[in-house]
């Protein structure tokens, strides 16, 4: 048995163990939801023992909350790196949409976790002390962009930054988190490369057109020849 050798690899490594547990838990919770998640599977996936979860993190609920907090922590910290301040307003909005879209694409477990937590009506999140304090300065970042856009004349109207953010997140989130049922309903694969490119173009066009009033590059549906066209068309 190579067991001995393997075991050696991470014997007595509390930090690493905790991380592996959280990672495995993230996978499990996002794949099966809170009730569907199996503690033993998490343990197995983490190369650990069930008892370890309780030792290092706590019971199932605490484990779940830890995963959730970690997920929020991650996106908030990436958001902080966006520095929309130095872009001209329309470009800043475009970048915000692209970031959100790509983040959701890169982190599908994040979407699942949010869905799971919302099905529970945020019961667990409400208990979190950490998350509340994260209240990212993100909203202010957006508010500033909007204000600058209005001042410069790029935007025709001042939008509530929270509404705008929810709209952008919603456009991205719904498409991705519901792609499974939508694909069945509409009979198209919404996750192939072409479809995703089109979606991004559509969203950027929609939001920018609404803000600037220029339907330039609005919605690209005027499909071109064979290429993914998807491009817009100035009207």
Partner DNA sequence: GGAGAAATTAACCCGTTGGATAAATACTGT
Partner DNA sequence: ACAGTATTTATCCAACGGGTTAATTTCTCC
Restricted to residues 20-39, the positions that interact with its own copies (CB under 8 A) are 32-36
Give the nearest distance from C-beta 67 to DNA in angstroms. 14
Instruction: Give the count of beta carbons closer than 10 Å to the beta carbon of residue 183.
Output: 15
Q: Which two tokens stand for residue 89?
A: 């307003």
Give the nearest distance from C-beta 50 to DNA in angstroms. 5
Q: Binding-site residue total for DNA (CB under 7 A)?
A: 22
**Residue 123 interacts with DNA (CB under 7 A)?**
no
| Contacts for 123 with CB less than 8 Å, ≥ 6 apart | none
Segment lying near its own copies (by CB under 8 A), choices 5-13, 16-24, 83-91, 164-172:
164-172
Q: Which of 165, 190, 202 is nearest to 76 (CA)?
A: 165
Distance of CA 68 to CAs 30, 128, 130, Å? Answer: 10, 9, 11
Q: Which two tokens stand for residue 75?
A: 């996106």
State how far the Cα of 107 lies from the Cα of 73, in Å rounded to an integer.
Answer: 13
Looking at residues 59 to 118 of the shown chain, list those that interact with its own copies (rule: CB under 8 A). Answer: 112, 114-118
**Residue 38 interacts with DNA (CB under 7 A)?**
yes
State how far the Cα of 101 lies from the Cα of 95, in Å rounded to an integer.
Answer: 10
Contacting residue, 61, 140, 160, 189, with DNA by CB under 7 A: 61
Give the nearest distance from C-beta 2 to its own copies in angstroms. 35
* Residue 178 main-chain phi, psi, to 5 deg: -105, 15
**Residue 222 interacts with its own copies (CB under 8 A)?**
yes
Looking at residues 6 to 25 of the shown chain, list those that interact with DNA (rule: CB under 7 A). Answer: 7, 10-14, 17
Contacting residue, 60, 94, 124, 199, with DNA by CB under 7 A: 60
Q: Which of 23, 20, 26, 21 is nearest to 112 (CA)?
A: 26
Complex with its own copies: residue 19 or 231, whichever CB lies closer: 231
Complex with DNA: residue 49 or 152, whichever CB lies closer: 49
Complex with DNA: residue 52 or 171, whichever CB lies closer: 52
| Length of the chain measured in residues | 235
Q: Binds 49, which of its own copies, DNA, none (CB < 5 to 8 A, cut-off by type)?
A: DNA
Q: What burial class does residue 206 get, using C-beta atoms within 10 Å of its C-beta: 0-12 exposed, 13-18 middle, 19+ buried?
A: middle
Residues that bind DNA (CB under 7 A): 7, 10-14, 17, 37-40, 48-52, 54-56, 59-61
């Amino acid at each position: 048995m190579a067991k001995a050798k393997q075991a050696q690899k991470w014997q007595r490594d509390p930090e690493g163990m905790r991380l592996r547990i959280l990672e495995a838990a993230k996978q499990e919770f996002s794949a099966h939801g809170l009730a569907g998640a199996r503690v033993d599977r998490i343990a197995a996936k983490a190369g650990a023992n069930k008892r370890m979860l309780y030792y290092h993190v706590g019971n199932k609920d605490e484990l779940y909350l830890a995963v959730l907090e970690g997920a929020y922590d991650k996106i908030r910290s990436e958001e902080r790196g966006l520095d929309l301040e130095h872009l001209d307003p329309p470009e800043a909005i475009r970048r915000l949409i692209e970031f959100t879209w790509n983040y959701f694409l890169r982190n599908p477990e994040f979407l699942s976790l949010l869905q799971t937590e919302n099905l529970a009506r945020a019961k667990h999140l409400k208990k979190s002390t950490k998350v509340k304090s994260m209240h990212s300065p993100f909203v202010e970042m957006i508010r500033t962009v909007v204000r600058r856009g209005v001042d410069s004349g790029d935007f025709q109207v001042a939008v509530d930054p929270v509404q705008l953010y929810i709209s952008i997140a919603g456009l991205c989130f719904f498409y991705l988190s519901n792609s499974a049922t939508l694909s069945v309903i509409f009979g198209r694969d919404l996750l192939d490369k072409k479809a995703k490119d089109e979606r991004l173009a559509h969203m950027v066009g929609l939001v920018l057109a609404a803000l600037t009033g220029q339907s330039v590059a609005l919605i690209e549906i005027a499909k071109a020849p064979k290429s993914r066209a998807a491009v817009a068309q100035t009207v």
